[in-house]
């Protein structure tokens, strides 16, 4: 049975009176109508696009669709069509746009493969604990600068962490632009002012090195801590290497004859770490475990030590160095090198810095031996002028 078509201004009264099989076509807005096939009337818009008659379903009568809201939606669709856009294709494109959470997953599956394992873990942790809960449900195309500013401000209690999260989010936004999920040059992280994180510089002095040495010696004698954990701490102190470089060090990376650690994949790429006599002795005193390629052996068969924080916290507590982080051992190595008269380029070479500005933090330490030399020269000249031998 064909539908019965009635031309009338579509109102709530007219819709409520509809019978099954009836179609109301609005006399004011061409193409707008409502059709009742069985129980619930359904609003629609009919319009020709490129010579073809198209039918766009707006929705069933009832919240949120009333004659007024459906009429406004029909007018919006007509504007879209007048701009040369197919509403159905536009709706499909909107459905295809990922949320930030979905975009982050795609980002980690593709770009994440290019990151080093530790960096990849940090990115994923940020997405899981901070970025995802705050912004994950928003379409990545709809993220605005104000959203990013609120997110960054909410992490004010941890300034460095907030700045790192902002940097990671910015990378995700740039990647989303490359993938076509956002317009080009629309990164909402651009222009967000970072927090001024206080620079923390902690260097061990001679007396503190002495206390630490005594505690390590006692731990070795009492065997209260794994000899591999103690060796790892000693190597960090004696080489200035990064924690992960020591923990993942393999036996094949150790060149005893040339006194080098040849790291194939450090943070800065392929890298050679020089070994002094003391560091060489530490390595020589470690047993090789059959079937385990690592120097610093862990509890899992064939694996390396994965957590040095627990033994380090115990060691530093006994030494009265509760404020000293593992990374401060690297800073302390550099400070001793500076106090010994090493230039900044030499310190940078020992630490594996690729950028001079990274080493610049030790500039004030490097000036100490110069000041000492200056004092000695001045005293010598003054003595000569006073007729003293």
Longest dimension (CA), the chain: 128
**C-alpha span between 44 and 212 (Å, rounded):** 79
**Residue 43 burial by Cβ neighbours in a 10 Å radius (0-12, 13-18, 19+):** buried
User: Phi, psi (5° rounding) for residue 26?
Assistant: -70, 135
pLDDT tens-digit profile, the chain (389 residues): 456 899 999 999 999 999 999 999 999 999 999 999 878 999 999 998 888 888 889 999 987 899 999 999 999 889 888 877 777 766 655 556 889 999 999 999 988 888 878 788 889 999 999 999 999 999 999 999 999 999 999 999 888 889 999 999 999 999 999 988 888 999 999 999 998 866 667 888 889 999 999 999 999 999 989 999 999 999 999 888 889 899 999 999 999 888 888 888 655 556 788 888 898 999 999 999 999 999 999 989 999 999 899 999 999 999 999 999 998 998 888 888 777 777 667 776 677 666 655 555 665 555 555 556 566 666 776 776 676 76
pTM beyond 0.85, yes or no: no
Work out whether strand 52-60 and strand 269-274 pair parallel, antiparallel, or are unpaired: unpaired
């Amino acid at each position: 049975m064909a539908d019965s078509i009635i031309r009338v201004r579509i109102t709530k009264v007219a819709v409520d009176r509809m019978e099954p099989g009836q179609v109301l076509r609005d006399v004011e807005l061409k193409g707008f109508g409502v059709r009742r096939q069985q129980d619930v009337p359904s609003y629609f818009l009919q319009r020709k696009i490129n010579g073809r008659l198209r039918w766009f379903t707006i929705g069933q009568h009832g919240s949120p669709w009333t004659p007024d809201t459906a009429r406004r939606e029909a007018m919006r669709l007509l504007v879209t069509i007048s701009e040369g856009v197919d509403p159905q294709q536009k709706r499909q494109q909107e459905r295809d746009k990922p949320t930030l959470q979905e975009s982050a997953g795609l980002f980690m599956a593709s770009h994440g493969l290019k990151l080093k394992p530790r960096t990849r873990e940090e990115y994923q942790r940020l997405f899981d604990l901070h970025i995802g809960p705050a912004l994950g449900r928003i379409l990545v195309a709809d993220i605005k600068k104000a959203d990013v500013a609120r997110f960054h401000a909410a992490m004010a209690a941890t300034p460095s962490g907030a700045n790192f999260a902002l940097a990671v989010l910015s990378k995700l936004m740039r990647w989303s632009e490359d993938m076509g999920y956002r317009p080009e040059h629309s990164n909402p992280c651009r222009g967000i002012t970072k927090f001024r994180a206080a620079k923390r510089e902690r260097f061990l002095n001679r007396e503190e090195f002495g206390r630490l040495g005594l505690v390590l010696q006692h731990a070795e004698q009492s065997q209260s801590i794994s000899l591999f954990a103690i060796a790892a701490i000693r190597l960090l102190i004696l080489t200035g290497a990064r924690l992960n470089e020591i923990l993942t060090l393999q036996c094949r990376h150790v060149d005893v004859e040339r006194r080098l650690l040849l790291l194939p994949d450090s943070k800065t790429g392929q890298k050679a770490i020089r070994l002094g006599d003391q560091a060489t002795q530490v390595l020589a005193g470690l047993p090789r475990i059959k079937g385990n390629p690592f120097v610093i052996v862990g509890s899992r068969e064939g694996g390396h030590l994965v957590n040095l924080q627990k033994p380090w916290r115990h060691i530093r507590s006994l030494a009265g160095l509760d404020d000293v982080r593992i990374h401060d051992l690297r800073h302390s190595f550099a400070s001793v090198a500076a106090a010994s008269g090493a230039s900044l380029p030499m310190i940078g070479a020992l630490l594996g810095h690729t950028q001079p500005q990274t080493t610049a933090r030790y500039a004030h330490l490097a000036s100490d031996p110069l000041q000492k030399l200056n004092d000695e020269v001045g005293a010598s000249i003054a003595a000569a002028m006073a007729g003293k031998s």
